[in-house]
Amino acid sequence: MSRWRYYLPILGYHRVGSSKGDHVPTVSEESFERQLAFLAREQYRVLSAEELATCIDQGAPWPRRSVAITFDDGYEETYTIAWPRLKRFGFPATVFITPSEVGLQGFATWSQVCEMGQDGMVIGCHTMHHSYLPTVPRERLQEEVVESKRIIEQQVGQPIRFISYPVGGFSSHVQAAIRAAGYGAAFTTNRLSPVRGIDRFALRRIKVTDRDRNPWLFRAKLSGYYDLFRQLKDPS
């Protein structure tokens, strides 16, 4: 069976809407709409984080032509712009939030997070303070990954099973802490991992930016060839 049968593009969005000029990867409303329309037209199956975890649990290959959609940071636009469009297309998604940033200017509020959670969006954790975990002292790691999980669970009234590493940063002791905290899977960036196969505590994502306005680039990222290109360019 071709290894491409096993390729699952996990899209990693940050902000959807207009750029605030702050280096946060941003996809315009129009590009986002076009990307969702493309997935629908090409009959992609959009997996929820739970379906993804189930595939890993069962050791099953990803369903053909599948994709997953995630958002980091919990910007207000995830609620105002992305969420209504995802619902219209019937696509599941996951948003990773940082409790210390919820309700700050530009970020979704707890009531918006709860509304999304009750309406099918999977809510995940993005640490307590958006910290780069490999350099966090061990005694503070509990707050970043355990206390943050507890606060989100208390606010949304649902178990939190997924985490994404700020800036994709993790190490083996971070992964051990994530596992001990009871998470079912963890998401990183598209950094190249020396680990072959699937590491459920380092699921790689494809960063989507406004460069992906170019439909061919978006298509290439979904196909797995982009990933192959990165590996050829920078073999690990």
Q: Which positions lie near Zn ion, rule CB under 5 A?
A: 72-73, 166
- Least distance (Å) between residue 1 CB and Zn ion: 35
Residue number of the CB closest to Zn ion reads 72
Tell me the C-alpha distance between 214 and 50, whole Å: 30
- Least distance (Å) between residue 125 CB and Zn ion: 11
DSSP annotation string for the chain: --GGGG---EEEE-EESS--SSS--EE-HHHHHHHHHHHHHTT-EEE-HHHHHHHHHHTPPPPTTEEEEEEEETBHHIIIIIHHHHHHHT---EEEE-GGGTTSTTB--HHHHHHHHHTTPEEEE--SS---GGGS-HHHHHIIIIIHHHHHHHHHSS---EEE-GGG---HHHHHHHHHTT-SEEE--S---S--S--TTSB--EEP-GGGGSHHHHHHHHHTHHHHHHHHHS--
**Is residue 92 a contact partner of residue 116, using CB atoms and an 8 Å limit?**
no
Closer residue to Zn ion, CB minimum distance, 9 or 166: 166
Closer residue to Zn ion, CB minimum distance, 39 or 203: 203
Closer residue to Zn ion, CB minimum distance, 47 or 133: 133
- Least distance (Å) between residue 188 CB and Zn ion: 11
Closer residue to Zn ion, CB minimum distance, 9 or 74: 74
- Least distance (Å) between residue 127 CB and Zn ion: 9
- Least distance (Å) between residue 111 CB and Zn ion: 22
Closer residue to Zn ion, CB minimum distance, 72 or 144: 72
Hey, what amino acid is at 58?
Q
- Least distance (Å) between residue 214 CB and Zn ion: 24
Closer residue to Zn ion, CB minimum distance, 73 or 212: 73
Tell me the C-alpha distance between 222 and 236, whole Å: 21
- Least distance (Å) between residue 106 CB and Zn ion: 13
Closer residue to Zn ion, CB minimum distance, 55 or 141: 141
